[in-house]
Structure 1
Protein backbone atom coordinates (compact mmCIF):
# COMPACT_ATOMS: atom_id res chain seq x y z
CA UNK A 1 0.00 0.00 0.00
CA UNK A 2 1.25 3.47 -0.94
CA UNK A 3 0.37 6.19 1.56
CA UNK A 4 0.71 9.95 1.17
CA UNK A 5 1.25 12.22 4.17
CA UNK A 6 0.19 15.83 3.49
CA UNK A 7 1.51 17.96 6.37
CA UNK A 8 3.30 21.31 6.38
CA UNK A 9 4.97 20.84 9.76
CA UNK A 10 8.07 18.66 9.47
CA UNK A 11 7.87 17.41 13.06
CA UNK A 12 4.28 16.24 12.60
CA UNK A 13 5.12 14.76 9.19
CA UNK A 14 7.96 12.70 10.69
CA UNK A 15 5.73 11.60 13.56
CA UNK A 16 3.08 10.41 11.10
CA UNK A 17 5.60 8.59 8.94
CA UNK A 18 7.06 6.79 11.96
CA UNK A 19 3.61 5.82 13.23
CA UNK A 20 2.53 4.55 9.81
CA UNK A 21 5.64 2.39 9.47
CA UNK A 22 5.15 1.05 12.98
CA UNK A 23 1.40 0.45 12.90
CA UNK A 24 0.72 -0.69 9.32
CA UNK A 25 2.99 -3.42 7.91
CA UNK A 26 0.80 -3.27 4.79
CA UNK A 27 2.40 0.06 3.86
CA UNK A 28 5.12 -0.39 1.23
CA UNK A 29 5.89 3.28 0.47
CA UNK A 30 5.26 6.56 2.25
CA UNK A 31 5.29 9.84 0.33
CA UNK A 32 5.27 13.34 1.82
CA UNK A 33 3.80 16.60 0.53
CA UNK A 34 4.17 19.90 2.37
CA UNK A 35 0.86 21.47 1.30
CA UNK A 36 -2.42 20.67 -0.41
CA UNK A 37 -1.31 21.63 -3.92
CA UNK A 38 1.76 19.42 -3.71
CA UNK A 39 -0.41 16.68 -2.22
CA UNK A 40 -2.76 16.74 -5.19
CA UNK A 41 0.17 16.33 -7.58
CA UNK A 42 1.76 13.52 -5.56
CA UNK A 43 -1.55 11.67 -5.37
CA UNK A 44 -2.00 12.09 -9.11
CA UNK A 45 1.42 10.75 -10.05
CA UNK A 46 2.26 8.26 -7.32
CA UNK A 47 -0.54 5.72 -7.53
CA UNK A 48 -1.53 6.65 -3.97
CA UNK A 49 -4.19 4.51 -2.29
CA UNK A 50 -4.49 6.28 1.04
CA UNK A 51 -3.81 9.76 2.44
CA UNK A 52 -3.24 11.30 5.86
CA UNK A 53 -4.22 14.94 5.43
CA UNK A 54 -3.62 18.00 7.60
CA UNK A 55 -6.44 20.52 7.34
CA UNK A 56 -4.80 23.90 7.86
CA UNK A 57 -2.00 24.56 5.37
CA UNK A 58 -0.74 27.50 3.36
CA UNK A 59 -1.33 27.70 -0.40
CA UNK A 60 -4.03 25.00 -0.42
CA UNK A 61 -5.87 23.59 2.57
CA UNK A 62 -6.79 19.99 3.29
CA UNK A 63 -10.47 20.28 2.38
CA UNK A 64 -9.67 21.63 -1.08
CA UNK A 65 -6.92 19.07 -1.66
CA UNK A 66 -9.20 16.21 -0.59
CA UNK A 67 -11.92 17.47 -2.89
CA UNK A 68 -9.54 17.29 -5.87
CA UNK A 69 -8.13 13.88 -4.89
CA UNK A 70 -11.60 12.40 -4.45
CA UNK A 71 -12.82 13.94 -7.70
CA UNK A 72 -10.01 12.17 -9.57
CA UNK A 73 -9.82 9.00 -7.47
CA UNK A 74 -13.04 8.54 -5.46
CA UNK A 75 -11.82 5.23 -4.00
CA UNK A 76 -9.03 6.99 -2.09
CA UNK A 77 -9.11 6.58 1.69
CA UNK A 78 -8.35 9.78 3.58
CA UNK A 79 -7.68 10.28 7.29
CA UNK A 80 -7.83 13.96 8.26
CA UNK A 81 -6.00 15.15 11.32
CA UNK A 82 -6.12 18.57 12.87
CA UNK A 83 -5.59 20.62 16.00
CA UNK A 84 -9.22 21.72 15.84
CA UNK A 85 -12.57 20.02 16.38
CA UNK A 86 -14.46 22.55 14.26
CA UNK A 87 -17.99 21.66 13.25
CA UNK A 88 -17.15 23.46 10.02
CA UNK A 89 -14.51 20.87 9.15
CA UNK A 90 -16.85 17.92 9.65
CA UNK A 91 -19.53 19.58 7.54
CA UNK A 92 -16.95 20.48 4.89
CA UNK A 93 -15.72 16.90 4.69
CA UNK A 94 -19.26 15.49 4.60
CA UNK A 95 -20.04 17.75 1.61
CA UNK A 96 -17.17 16.45 -0.51
CA UNK A 97 -16.69 12.78 0.39
CA UNK A 98 -17.86 10.43 -2.39
CA UNK A 99 -20.49 7.85 -1.57
CA UNK A 100 -19.03 4.69 -0.01
CA UNK A 101 -15.57 6.25 0.42
CA UNK A 102 -13.65 5.70 3.65
CA UNK A 103 -12.54 8.68 5.69
CA UNK A 104 -11.70 9.64 9.25
CA UNK A 105 -10.99 12.62 11.44
CA UNK A 106 -8.62 12.52 14.40
CA UNK A 107 -7.11 15.26 16.53
CA UNK A 108 -3.36 15.82 16.67
CA UNK A 109 -3.64 15.64 20.44
CA UNK A 110 -4.85 12.02 20.25
CA UNK A 111 -2.63 9.39 21.83
CA UNK A 112 -0.32 7.35 19.62
CA UNK A 113 -2.49 4.30 20.25
CA UNK A 114 -5.57 6.23 19.17
CA UNK A 115 -3.79 7.41 16.03
CA UNK A 116 -2.72 3.82 15.23
CA UNK A 117 -6.33 2.69 15.60
CA UNK A 118 -7.57 5.46 13.29
CA UNK A 119 -4.89 4.73 10.67
CA UNK A 120 -5.79 1.04 10.55
CA UNK A 121 -9.55 1.60 10.62
CA UNK A 122 -9.59 4.11 7.76
CA UNK A 123 -6.57 3.33 5.56
CA UNK A 124 -6.60 -0.49 5.78
CA UNK A 125 -10.11 -1.55 6.80
CA UNK A 126 -11.96 1.17 4.87
CA UNK A 127 -14.09 2.32 7.79
CA UNK A 128 -15.51 5.76 8.58
CA UNK A 129 -14.10 6.93 11.90
CA UNK A 130 -14.44 10.27 13.69
CA UNK A 131 -12.52 10.47 16.97
CA UNK A 132 -14.86 10.47 19.96
CA UNK A 133 -12.90 13.40 21.41
CA UNK A 134 -14.09 15.54 18.50
CA UNK A 135 -17.71 14.75 19.29
CA UNK A 136 -17.09 15.46 22.98
CA UNK A 137 -15.59 18.88 22.29
CA UNK A 138 -18.41 19.77 19.92
CA UNK A 139 -21.01 18.83 22.53
CA UNK A 140 -19.28 21.15 24.97
CA UNK A 141 -19.43 23.99 22.48
CA UNK A 142 -23.11 23.83 21.59
CA UNK A 143 -26.21 22.15 22.91
CA UNK A 144 -27.93 19.85 20.37
CA UNK A 145 -30.91 22.19 20.08
CA UNK A 146 -28.55 25.00 19.02
CA UNK A 147 -26.86 23.10 16.19
CA UNK A 148 -27.73 24.24 12.70
CA UNK A 149 -29.32 21.73 10.37
CA UNK A 150 -28.00 21.36 6.82
CA UNK A 151 -30.54 23.79 5.39
CA UNK A 152 -29.69 26.49 7.94
CA UNK A 153 -25.98 25.90 7.44
CA UNK A 154 -26.33 26.38 3.69
CA UNK A 155 -28.13 29.68 4.22
CA UNK A 156 -25.41 30.73 6.67
CA UNK A 157 -22.71 30.07 4.07
CA UNK A 158 -24.57 32.12 1.48
CA UNK A 159 -25.06 34.92 4.00
CA UNK A 160 -21.31 34.86 4.76
CA UNK A 161 -20.54 35.13 1.04
CA UNK A 162 -22.73 38.24 0.77
CA UNK A 163 -25.75 36.86 -1.10
CA UNK A 164 -29.05 38.71 -0.65
CA UNK A 165 -32.14 36.75 0.37
CA UNK A 166 -33.53 36.55 -3.17
CA UNK A 167 -30.35 34.99 -4.56
CA UNK A 168 -30.11 32.59 -1.60
CA UNK A 169 -33.66 31.46 -2.37
CA UNK A 170 -32.78 30.86 -6.02
CA UNK A 171 -29.59 28.98 -5.22
CA UNK A 172 -31.10 26.79 -2.49
CA UNK A 173 -34.39 26.14 -4.27
CA UNK A 174 -36.40 27.78 -1.49
CA UNK A 175 -39.12 30.37 -1.34
CA UNK A 176 -38.15 33.81 -0.08
CA UNK A 177 -40.27 33.22 3.02
CA UNK A 178 -38.43 29.96 3.74
CA UNK A 179 -35.06 31.70 3.50
CA UNK A 180 -36.23 34.37 5.92
CA UNK A 181 -37.46 31.69 8.34
CA UNK A 182 -34.08 29.92 8.11
CA UNK A 183 -32.35 33.22 8.90
CA UNK A 184 -34.52 33.77 11.96
CA UNK A 185 -33.75 30.24 13.14
CA UNK A 186 -29.99 30.55 12.71
CA UNK A 187 -30.02 33.98 14.41
CA UNK A 188 -31.65 32.32 17.39
CA UNK A 189 -29.30 29.33 17.45
CA UNK A 190 -26.19 31.50 17.08
CA UNK A 191 -27.33 33.80 19.86
CA UNK A 192 -27.76 36.89 17.71
CA UNK A 193 -29.87 39.28 19.76
CA UNK A 194 -30.71 42.91 19.18
CA UNK A 195 -32.68 44.80 21.81
CA UNK A 196 -35.39 46.74 19.94
CA UNK A 197 -35.62 49.19 22.85
CA UNK A 198 -31.93 50.09 22.69
CA UNK A 199 -32.00 52.84 20.08
CA UNK A 200 -28.45 53.93 20.90
CA UNK A 201 -27.00 50.79 19.29
CA UNK A 202 -28.08 49.57 15.87
CA UNK A 203 -26.52 46.22 15.00
CA UNK A 204 -26.65 44.42 11.65
CA UNK A 205 -27.99 40.93 12.32
CA UNK A 206 -26.32 39.40 9.25
CA UNK A 207 -22.91 40.68 10.29
CA UNK A 208 -23.52 39.59 13.88
CA UNK A 209 -24.49 36.11 12.66
CA UNK A 210 -21.25 35.86 10.69
CA UNK A 211 -19.29 37.03 13.73
CA UNK A 212 -20.95 34.46 15.99
CA UNK A 213 -20.45 31.68 13.43
CA UNK A 214 -16.72 32.43 13.27
CA UNK A 215 -16.32 32.77 17.04
CA UNK A 216 -18.10 29.46 17.68
CA UNK A 217 -16.18 27.78 14.81
CA UNK A 218 -19.43 26.87 13.09
CA UNK A 219 -17.66 28.09 9.96
CA UNK A 220 -13.99 28.84 9.34
CA UNK A 221 -11.71 30.17 6.63
CA UNK A 222 -11.33 26.80 4.92
CA UNK A 223 -15.10 26.36 4.79
CA UNK A 224 -15.55 29.81 3.29
CA UNK A 225 -12.88 29.16 0.65
CA UNK A 226 -14.64 25.97 -0.41
CA UNK A 227 -18.02 27.72 -0.34
CA UNK A 228 -16.69 30.49 -2.58
CA UNK A 229 -15.49 27.91 -5.08
CA UNK A 230 -18.95 26.29 -5.11
CA UNK A 231 -20.59 29.69 -5.52
CA UNK A 232 -18.33 30.63 -8.43
CA UNK A 233 -19.25 27.38 -10.18
CA UNK A 234 -22.97 27.98 -9.56
CA UNK A 235 -22.81 31.56 -10.80
CA UNK A 236 -20.93 30.40 -13.90
CA UNK A 237 -23.63 27.87 -14.70
CA UNK A 238 -26.35 30.38 -13.98
CA UNK A 239 -24.82 32.86 -16.43
Structure 2
Protein backbone atom coordinates (compact mmCIF):
# COMPACT_ATOMS: atom_id res chain seq x y z
CA UNK A 1 0.00 0.00 0.00
CA UNK A 2 1.39 3.38 -0.99
CA UNK A 3 1.60 5.94 1.79
CA UNK A 4 -0.04 8.55 -0.43
CA UNK A 5 -2.60 6.38 -2.24
CA UNK A 6 -6.17 7.64 -2.20
CA UNK A 7 -8.74 4.88 -1.62
CA UNK A 8 -11.24 4.64 -4.47
CA UNK A 9 -14.21 3.89 -2.21
CA UNK A 10 -15.01 4.26 1.50
CA UNK A 11 -12.10 3.99 3.91
CA UNK A 12 -12.10 0.51 5.38
CA UNK A 13 -11.27 0.16 9.07
CA UNK A 14 -10.32 -2.77 11.32
CA UNK A 15 -10.99 -2.30 15.04
CA UNK A 16 -8.57 -3.98 17.45
CA UNK A 17 -9.23 -3.90 21.19
CA UNK A 18 -9.63 -6.57 23.83
CA UNK A 19 -12.77 -4.87 25.18
CA UNK A 20 -15.89 -5.52 23.10
CA UNK A 21 -17.57 -2.37 24.46
CA UNK A 22 -14.73 -0.22 23.17
CA UNK A 23 -14.94 -1.80 19.72
CA UNK A 24 -18.71 -1.30 19.69
CA UNK A 25 -18.34 2.35 20.63
CA UNK A 26 -15.84 2.99 17.85
CA UNK A 27 -18.03 1.08 15.40
CA UNK A 28 -21.04 3.25 16.27
CA UNK A 29 -19.09 6.44 15.62
CA UNK A 30 -17.51 5.23 12.37
CA UNK A 31 -20.40 3.32 10.79
CA UNK A 32 -22.68 6.35 10.41
CA UNK A 33 -20.13 8.03 8.12
CA UNK A 34 -20.69 7.53 4.39
CA UNK A 35 -16.97 7.52 3.61
CA UNK A 36 -15.96 4.97 6.28
CA UNK A 37 -16.71 1.24 6.49
CA UNK A 38 -15.83 -1.01 9.44
CA UNK A 39 -14.72 -4.31 7.88
CA UNK A 40 -13.77 -6.29 10.96
CA UNK A 41 -12.90 -6.52 14.63
CA UNK A 42 -10.18 -8.29 16.61
CA UNK A 43 -9.61 -8.85 20.32
CA UNK A 44 -5.82 -9.17 20.25
CA UNK A 45 -2.78 -8.77 18.03
CA UNK A 46 -2.89 -12.31 16.67
CA UNK A 47 -6.49 -11.89 15.55
CA UNK A 48 -5.62 -8.48 14.16
CA UNK A 49 -3.07 -9.98 11.78
CA UNK A 50 -5.50 -12.69 10.68
CA UNK A 51 -8.33 -10.21 10.05
CA UNK A 52 -6.05 -7.69 8.36
CA UNK A 53 -4.73 -10.31 5.95
CA UNK A 54 -8.31 -11.28 5.11
CA UNK A 55 -9.80 -7.79 4.78
CA UNK A 56 -6.81 -5.58 3.74
CA UNK A 57 -8.11 -2.52 5.61
CA UNK A 58 -7.01 1.03 4.87
CA UNK A 59 -6.76 1.81 8.60
CA UNK A 60 -6.29 -0.28 11.75
CA UNK A 61 -7.33 1.28 15.06
CA UNK A 62 -5.03 -0.53 17.47
CA UNK A 63 -5.13 -0.87 21.25
CA UNK A 64 -1.80 -1.33 23.06
CA UNK A 65 -2.32 -3.68 26.00
CA UNK A 66 -3.88 -6.93 24.78
CA UNK A 67 -3.41 -10.66 25.43
CA UNK A 68 -1.32 -12.98 23.22
CA UNK A 69 0.22 -10.16 21.14
CA UNK A 70 0.21 -6.49 22.16
CA UNK A 71 -0.56 -3.62 19.84
CA UNK A 72 3.05 -2.52 19.38
CA UNK A 73 4.18 -5.93 18.14
CA UNK A 74 1.08 -6.28 15.98
CA UNK A 75 1.81 -2.88 14.45
CA UNK A 76 5.32 -3.99 13.46
CA UNK A 77 3.87 -6.98 11.58
CA UNK A 78 1.07 -4.98 9.95
CA UNK A 79 3.46 -2.29 8.70
CA UNK A 80 6.01 -4.85 7.48
CA UNK A 81 3.30 -6.63 5.47
CA UNK A 82 1.72 -3.33 4.33
CA UNK A 83 -1.64 -4.35 5.77
CA UNK A 84 -2.93 -0.87 6.53
CA UNK A 85 -2.07 2.39 8.26
CA UNK A 86 -2.09 1.90 12.03
CA UNK A 87 -3.44 4.44 14.50
CA UNK A 88 -2.67 3.53 18.09
CA UNK A 89 -5.64 4.19 20.38
CA UNK A 90 -5.02 3.81 24.10
CA UNK A 91 -6.11 5.02 27.53
CA UNK A 92 -2.48 5.34 28.55
CA UNK A 93 -0.86 8.71 27.79
CA UNK A 94 2.65 7.34 28.20
CA UNK A 95 5.78 8.31 26.31
CA UNK A 96 7.07 4.75 26.17
CA UNK A 97 3.93 3.65 24.31
CA UNK A 98 4.06 6.69 22.05
CA UNK A 99 7.64 6.24 20.90
CA UNK A 100 7.41 2.46 20.71
CA UNK A 101 4.35 2.84 18.50
CA UNK A 102 6.02 5.36 16.19
CA UNK A 103 9.16 3.23 15.97
CA UNK A 104 6.96 0.26 15.07
CA UNK A 105 5.57 2.26 12.15
CA UNK A 106 2.28 3.64 13.47
CA UNK A 107 0.86 6.55 11.50
CA UNK A 108 -0.79 8.18 14.47
CA UNK A 109 -1.48 8.07 18.18
CA UNK A 110 -4.86 8.82 19.76
CA UNK A 111 -6.13 8.68 23.32
CA UNK A 112 -9.43 6.93 23.99
CA UNK A 113 -10.80 10.04 25.67
CA UNK A 114 -10.58 11.88 22.33
CA UNK A 115 -13.91 13.07 20.95
CA UNK A 116 -15.70 11.51 17.97
CA UNK A 117 -14.49 14.24 15.62
CA UNK A 118 -10.87 13.59 16.55
CA UNK A 119 -11.39 9.88 15.95
CA UNK A 120 -12.90 10.53 12.53
CA UNK A 121 -10.15 13.00 11.63
CA UNK A 122 -7.47 10.48 12.63
CA UNK A 123 -9.05 7.71 10.54
CA UNK A 124 -9.44 9.92 7.48
CA UNK A 125 -5.93 11.33 7.78
CA UNK A 126 -4.30 7.93 8.21
CA UNK A 127 -6.38 6.29 5.50
CA UNK A 128 -5.25 8.85 2.96
CA UNK A 129 -1.61 8.65 3.98
CA UNK A 130 -1.66 12.08 5.61
CA UNK A 131 -1.21 10.98 9.20
CA UNK A 132 -1.12 13.84 11.66
CA UNK A 133 0.00 13.90 15.26
CA UNK A 134 -1.82 16.07 17.77
CA UNK A 135 0.22 19.19 18.65
CA UNK A 136 0.98 17.95 22.17
CA UNK A 137 2.19 14.64 20.75
CA UNK A 138 4.31 16.42 18.14
CA UNK A 139 6.02 18.43 20.87
CA UNK A 140 6.86 15.26 22.75
CA UNK A 141 8.27 13.67 19.60
CA UNK A 142 10.38 16.76 19.07
CA UNK A 143 11.64 16.69 22.65
CA UNK A 144 12.49 13.00 22.38
CA UNK A 145 14.31 13.39 19.07
CA UNK A 146 16.33 16.37 20.31
CA UNK A 147 16.82 15.30 23.91
CA UNK A 148 15.16 18.54 24.99
CA UNK A 149 18.03 20.54 23.47
CA UNK A 150 16.94 23.08 20.82
CA UNK A 151 20.15 22.40 18.92
CA UNK A 152 20.08 18.68 19.55
CA UNK A 153 18.42 17.62 16.32
CA UNK A 154 20.46 19.09 13.54
CA UNK A 155 22.88 21.29 15.42
CA UNK A 156 24.88 24.08 13.74
CA UNK A 157 27.88 21.84 12.99
CA UNK A 158 25.95 18.83 11.70
CA UNK A 159 25.81 18.54 7.89
CA UNK A 160 22.44 18.50 6.19
CA UNK A 161 21.10 15.09 5.14
CA UNK A 162 21.95 14.41 1.50
CA UNK A 163 18.29 13.86 0.67
CA UNK A 164 17.50 17.56 1.10
CA UNK A 165 19.47 18.30 -2.07
CA UNK A 166 16.77 16.51 -4.05
CA UNK A 167 14.06 18.92 -2.90
CA UNK A 168 13.11 22.10 -4.70
CA UNK A 169 13.02 25.31 -2.70
CA UNK A 170 9.24 25.08 -2.46
CA UNK A 171 9.35 21.44 -1.37
CA UNK A 172 11.84 22.38 1.33
CA UNK A 173 9.41 25.05 2.56
CA UNK A 174 6.67 22.45 2.65
CA UNK A 175 8.88 20.05 4.63
CA UNK A 176 9.50 22.76 7.23
CA UNK A 177 5.75 23.29 7.56
CA UNK A 178 5.16 19.57 7.84
CA UNK A 179 7.70 19.59 10.65
CA UNK A 180 5.63 22.25 12.38
CA UNK A 181 2.58 20.00 12.15
CA UNK A 182 0.60 22.08 9.66
CA UNK A 183 -2.23 20.53 7.64
CA UNK A 184 -2.49 20.84 3.85
CA UNK A 185 -5.03 23.63 4.28
CA UNK A 186 -2.80 25.55 6.66
CA UNK A 187 0.21 25.14 4.35
CA UNK A 188 -1.89 26.33 1.40
CA UNK A 189 -2.98 29.41 3.33
CA UNK A 190 0.53 30.27 4.47
CA UNK A 191 2.10 29.81 1.01
CA UNK A 192 -0.92 31.21 -0.87
CA UNK A 193 -1.32 28.03 -2.91
CA UNK A 194 -4.19 25.72 -3.76
CA UNK A 195 -4.61 22.64 -1.59
CA UNK A 196 -4.20 20.39 -4.64
CA UNK A 197 -0.82 21.99 -5.31
CA UNK A 198 0.20 21.54 -1.68
CA UNK A 199 -0.87 17.91 -1.81
CA UNK A 200 1.40 17.38 -4.81
CA UNK A 201 4.33 19.02 -3.00
CA UNK A 202 3.74 16.86 0.09
CA UNK A 203 3.66 13.71 -2.03
CA UNK A 204 6.90 14.74 -3.74
CA UNK A 205 8.62 15.40 -0.41
CA UNK A 206 7.61 12.02 0.98
CA UNK A 207 8.66 10.21 -2.20
CA UNK A 208 12.01 11.97 -2.60
CA UNK A 209 13.00 11.46 1.03
CA UNK A 210 11.59 7.91 1.14
CA UNK A 211 9.29 8.77 4.04
CA UNK A 212 6.20 6.73 4.81
CA UNK A 213 3.97 9.56 6.03
CA UNK A 214 3.83 12.90 7.83
CA UNK A 215 4.91 11.38 11.11
CA UNK A 216 8.24 10.46 9.55
CA UNK A 217 8.39 13.90 7.90
CA UNK A 218 8.11 15.58 11.32
CA UNK A 219 10.95 13.49 12.68
CA UNK A 220 13.06 14.04 9.53
CA UNK A 221 12.61 17.83 9.68
CA UNK A 222 13.84 17.98 13.25
CA UNK A 223 16.67 15.51 12.77
CA UNK A 224 17.79 17.61 9.79
CA UNK A 225 17.80 20.75 11.93
CA UNK A 226 15.22 22.50 9.72
CA UNK A 227 13.03 23.24 12.74
CA UNK A 228 14.03 23.81 16.33
CA UNK A 229 11.74 23.15 19.30
CA UNK A 230 12.05 26.79 20.38
CA UNK A 231 10.08 27.78 17.27
CA UNK A 232 6.98 26.05 18.62
TM-score range, shorter chain: 0.5 to 0.7
1:58-109 Cα shifts (integer Å, max 9, x gaps): 11111111111111116x2111111122211222123222xxxx71111111
Contact 1:85/1:134 (CA < 8 Å) preserved in 2? no
Q: What are structure 1's unaligned runs of at least 5 residues?
A: 151-239
1:87 corresponding residue in structure 2 = 95
1:77 corresponding residue in structure 2 = 85
Contact 2:88/2:101 (CA < 8 Å) preserved in 1? no
2:134 corresponding residue in structure 1 = 131
1:66 corresponding residue in structure 2 = 75
**Whole-Å separation in 2 of the counterparts to 1:145 and 1:70:** 29
- After superposition, the Cα gap between the structure-2 partners of 1:29 and 1:145, relative to the gap in structure 1 and judged at 3 Å, is closer
Once the 2 structures are TM-superposed, how far is the Cα of residue 29 of structure 1 from its aligned partner? 4.2
1:149-174 Cα shifts (integer Å, max 9, x gaps): 89xxxxxxxxxxxxxxxxxxxxxxxx
Do residues 6 (structure 1) and 10 (structure 2) align?
no
2:25 corresponding residue in structure 1 = 15
- After superposition, the Cα gap between the structure-2 partners of 1:109 and 1:135, relative to the gap in structure 1 and judged at 3 Å, is farther
1:115 corresponding residue in structure 2 = 119
**Whole-Å separation in 1 of the counterparts to 2:114 and 2:38:** 24
**Whole-Å separation in 1 of the counterparts to 2:80 and 2:140:** 31
1:192-218 Cα shifts (integer Å, max 9, x gaps): xxxxxxxxxxxxxxxxxxxxxxxxxxx
* TM-score relative to the length of structure 1: 0.51
2:169 corresponding residue in structure 1 = none
Contact 2:30/2:38 (CA < 8 Å) preserved in 1? no
**Whole-Å separation in 2 of the counterparts to 1:47 and 1:137:** 31
1:52 corresponding residue in structure 2 = 61
**Whole-Å separation in 1 of the counterparts to 2:134 and 2:102:** 15
* TM-score relative to the length of structure 2: 0.52
Query: Alignment length, in residue pairs?
Result: 141
Runs of 4+ residues deviating >3 angstroms: 132-139
DSSP 3-state at the match of 1:5:
strand
Residue correspondence of structure 1 range 20-31 to structure 2 within 5 A? 20-22=30-32, 24-31=33-40
**Whole-Å separation in 1 of the counterparts to 2:48 and 2:65:** 13
- After superposition, the Cα gap between the structure-2 partners of 1:46 and 1:62, relative to the gap in structure 1 and judged at 3 Å, is same
DSSP 3-state at the match of 2:47:
helix
CA RMSD of aligned residues (A): 3.1
